[in-house]
Structure 1
Amino acid sequence: MRALNHCLAVTSVLVCSLVLGVQSALAAELAAGAPQTYVVQSGDTLWSIAGRFLRDPWLWSEVYEANPGIGDPDLIYPGDVLELRMVGGEPRIRRSRSASGRGSPRVVKLSPQVRSSSLTEAVPTISIAAIGPFLTQPYVADSDDIRRASYVVGFPDEHLIAGVNDSIYVRKIRSADQTDFQVLRPGDELRDPDSNELLGYEAVFVANAALERVGDPAKLKVVRMERQVSIGDRVIPASAEQPLVNFFPKPAPSGTRGRIISVLNGVSQIGRYDVVVLNLGSRDRVSAGDTFEVYVGGGKARDDVRRGMAANDWLKEGPLSSEFWLGQEWERKGWRRDEPSPDSSFPIHADWRRNKGEYVRPFERSGVLMVFRTFDRVSFGIVLHANRFINVGDWIAPPPA
């Protein structure tokens, strides 16, 4: 009703009816060249599929109609046929029941071999290769407990570092109830850039290790590693958390504005598929699949023209005129002390200084990221699109409604 009243107030009934007939309130706008049907391919992601149909892929959950009564109605598999149709002037995307093969074995024929393979893996939301190491490893410690955890104290063979199949000595593991461990390297503090609140500690994943013998020191064997184990690395019980690969992209909760506070893997300028840490977590209602737009700007920048560091307006007085030196560009801040000497009864030199001209940079959209793992006070996000370099400290906000 509100959209109708707005249309009547702005334009004619004819134009209003055309707007409402094509797309209602621009809830989900189709991408240029959106197909009427699409066959899901192996290697597709939910994000890439959504981008084929929608200008804003994060609105996928608003237009996708799950098929009820056919098992895993929300999941999409290779071979499924997705159909685009308009309902009440708004796009709707639905999986074709007959083409999807629901209720019968899902097979794909391979040649020249005569065999078939079951396609049991649903299409993931985003490329798991880009975030796989971050799905189960605790890269953020909510407190400094990691600094007080058991630690690598040495190696049986007097090595300086250890790799796969090497043994390591670890302080104070006295129980055999836990046999699987993770080796972590304590990193920097994560603080909120605005309030300076301590949000947690980065913890770089080093390796997985299996308990061989309890004691002080205990003996563990490295069974998998991302980097070589060094003396001082912390050792904690391994997490049993399973990777979360199937979730729908959706706009982040309204009002959840935040900042990028760190980037992983030593990247200085952030781009597509880089993993970043956000100063928002589950306490801020953020969950896996939440999509944010990234903005650069909001900070103060120097006005070189007002500061006299760049070419001034040619219509103004030149630097040889008194107006230039004593006009708007300069202000008297007081009197200079200690001139000509600290014993002077009265300062005789006026203190003239240029206005320190500054302006606030407008916010400009620089990319899109999606949260894929949350902690209490921070979250991991992956950059899905970047139209310029993104930096630590940049702002994030939900897509416009």
Structure 2
Amino acid sequence: MRAMQRRFAVISILIGSLALLAPGVFATELAPGAPQTYTVRPGDTLWDIAGRFLRDPWRWSEVWRANPGVENPNLIYPGDVLELTMVAGRPVIGRADGRGGPRLVRLSPQVRAEAISAPVPTIRIGSIAPFLTQPYVADSDDLKRASYVVGFPDEHIVAGVNDAIYVRKIRTSDVTQFQVLRPGDALRDPDSGDLLGYEAAFVANAVLERTGDPAKLRVTRMEREVSIGDRVIAADAEQPLVDFLPRPAPEGTRGRILSVMNGVSQIGQYDVVIINRGARDRLEPGHVFEVFVGGQKERDQVRAGIADTDWLMESPFSSDFWLGRDYDFKGWRADEPSRDASFPLHPEYRRNKAEYVKPFERSGLLMVFRVFDRVSFGLILHTNRALQVGDWVAPPPA
């Protein structure tokens, strides 16, 4: 009985100790040299600020104390003073002055209004500006059936800013703002082979000048020159990308990188990629993934004999001389070319397929900033090696 009481007492002490330690054990880890206070400056991003305080910037939403009573309590502005405090052993970050919302507009004696400070964006908008509002992924081959550029009023081969273009079958002026897109490759799931959509490169913005078949449009902004055959669709209204917080992607949402924009072959920091997960997988702007390389089969050069060198055997009298080291001797074949042949039994060689699976290695971070039904656009925030199409993404550890 006394032994049982002692065991119960020990268990109670352990539980009590764990309860006392729990706040510190499970607290979000601070970055080395995290400041006690920080004044937000123009040019800062939420990701940069989060990295000053936290080792894992995507955990910002777990420590941010938003200001109640303002229109959007998550927005941060230049001039805000952020303060780090500890509550029950956990870091908490909030505005030291308790202010939130737009900055005060000051008027000079000449009644010249200064611009209201813009909120701090989550990530650097310049890296993804062309991708914010353009429908770069079509859910079907609708782009191929859309209106298209058929020619130019002048003797042009291509068109640029302020040039006019002729477009087939725009018969109404209900929409006046258009986007010019260039159809690209089909996006297929690398695991299932399912068609996820069609990639489309943004070419230009254009405004309607005259309806008809062909209609006349004028180019107002361009990323690349407009060519005959480019598709034309109605433009979406632009929306700012400042009102979401970085946070881990839903648990278990593993995916693959399908494509990289701007035609690069190796993916680096601030490149824009497409992944094979979207709204149906509960993805939202701000979700963060870790990127992993590995998982592919590699040749075991030792077992295959490629890594073993024996210069004495490299002669016309050795099988390696004729077949190479990719083949293993499996035995002798009888009765070839015929049972009555006087030629000796034939040797049988088969290709050596010794392989191993390359382990996964964490190699970067990706943040989703635009979501479609089955795919999403993400920005590579950090990488410690070159990434490639086909690399895996997974949520950060909880």
> How far apart are 1:17 and its partner, in Å?
7.7
Deviation by residue 1:292-348 (Cα, 9 ceiling, x = unmatched): 000000111111111111138x9xxx979xxxx9xxx98654655895569859992
Which of 230, 246, 250 aligns to 1:233? It is: 230
Indicate the RMSD between aligned Cα atoms, in angstroms: 3.2
Which of 260, 264, 279 aligns to 1:263? It is: 260
Matched, 1:35 2:32: no
Tell me what 1:4 maps to: none
CA gap of 1:212–1:12, structure 2 versus 1, over 3 A, is same
> How far apart are 1:157 and its partner, in Å?
1.1
Matched, 1:359 2:356: yes
CA gap of 1:156–1:64, structure 2 versus 1, over 3 A, is same
The 8 Å contact of residues 281 and 377 in structure 1, kept in 2 or not, is answered as yes
Q: Distance in 2 between matches of 1:239 and 1:342?
A: 77
Q: Distance in 1 between matches of 2:114 and 2:203?
A: 36
Letter in 2 for 1:294: V
Tell me what 1:120 maps to: 117
CA gap of 1:167–1:116, structure 2 versus 1, over 3 A, is closer
11-20 or 244-253, which deviates more = 11-20
Tell me what 1:212 maps to: 209
**Secondary structure in structure 2 of the residue aligned to 1:49:** helix
Q: Distance in 2 between matches of 1:165 and 1:149?
A: 23
TM-score, normalization by structure 2: 0.86
Tell me what 2:65 maps to: 65
The 8 Å contact of residues 272 and 380 in structure 2, kept in 1 or not, is answered as yes
Which of 115, 140, 143 aligns to 1:143? It is: 140
Tell me what 2:50 maps to: 50
Tell me what 1:191 maps to: 188
The 8 Å contact of residues 165 and 223 in structure 1, kept in 2 or not, is answered as yes
Number of aligned positions between the proteins: 376
Tell me what 2:295 maps to: 298
286-295 or 160-169, which deviates more = 160-169
231-240 or 290-299, which deviates more = 231-240
TM-score, normalization by structure 1: 0.85
Q: Distance in 2 between matches of 1:375 and 1:28?
A: 31
Letter in 2 for 1:193: P
Matched, 1:105 2:104: yes
Tell me what 1:76 maps to: 76
Letter in 2 for 1:235: V
The 8 Å contact of residues 140 and 202 in structure 1, kept in 2 or not, is answered as yes
Structure 2 residue runs of 5 or longer lacking an equivalent are 1-9, 315-319, 321-325
**Secondary structure in structure 1 of the residue aligned to 2:302:** coil
CA gap of 1:12–1:218, structure 2 versus 1, over 3 A, is same
The 8 Å contact of residues 183 and 208 in structure 1, kept in 2 or not, is answered as yes
Tell me what 1:281 maps to: 278
Matched, 1:86 2:83: no
Q: Distance in 2 between matches of 1:300 and 1:331?
A: 20
CA gap of 1:168–1:114, structure 2 versus 1, over 3 A, is closer
Q: Distance in 1 between matches of 2:173 and 2:145?
A: 20
**Secondary structure in structure 2 of the residue aligned to 1:232:** coil
The 8 Å contact of residues 254 and 392 in structure 2, kept in 1 or not, is answered as yes
Deviation by residue 1:234-257 (Cα, 9 ceiling, x = unmatched): 111111242332210000000100
Q: Distance in 2 between matches of 1:278 and 1:364?
A: 18
The 8 Å contact of residues 71 and 102 in structure 1, kept in 2 or not, is answered as yes
The 8 Å contact of residues 70 and 103 in structure 1, kept in 2 or not, is answered as no
Percent same amino acid at aligned positions?
66
Tell me what 2:25 maps to: 24
Q: Distance in 1 between matches of 2:102 and 2:300?
A: 67
Tell me what 2:167 maps to: 170
CA gap of 1:159–1:15, structure 2 versus 1, over 3 A, is same
Letter in 2 for 1:363: F
**Secondary structure in structure 1 of the residue aligned to 2:114:** strand
> How far apart are 1:107 and its partner, in Å?
5.9
Letter in 2 for 1:250: R
**Secondary structure in structure 2 of the residue aligned to 1:305:** helix
Structure 1 residue runs of 5 or longer lacking an equivalent are 1-7
Q: Distance in 2 between matches of 1:176 and 1:103?
A: 37
The 8 Å contact of residues 59 and 246 in structure 2, kept in 1 or not, is answered as yes
Matched, 1:385 2:382: yes
Q: Distance in 1 between matches of 2:264 and 2:251?
A: 30
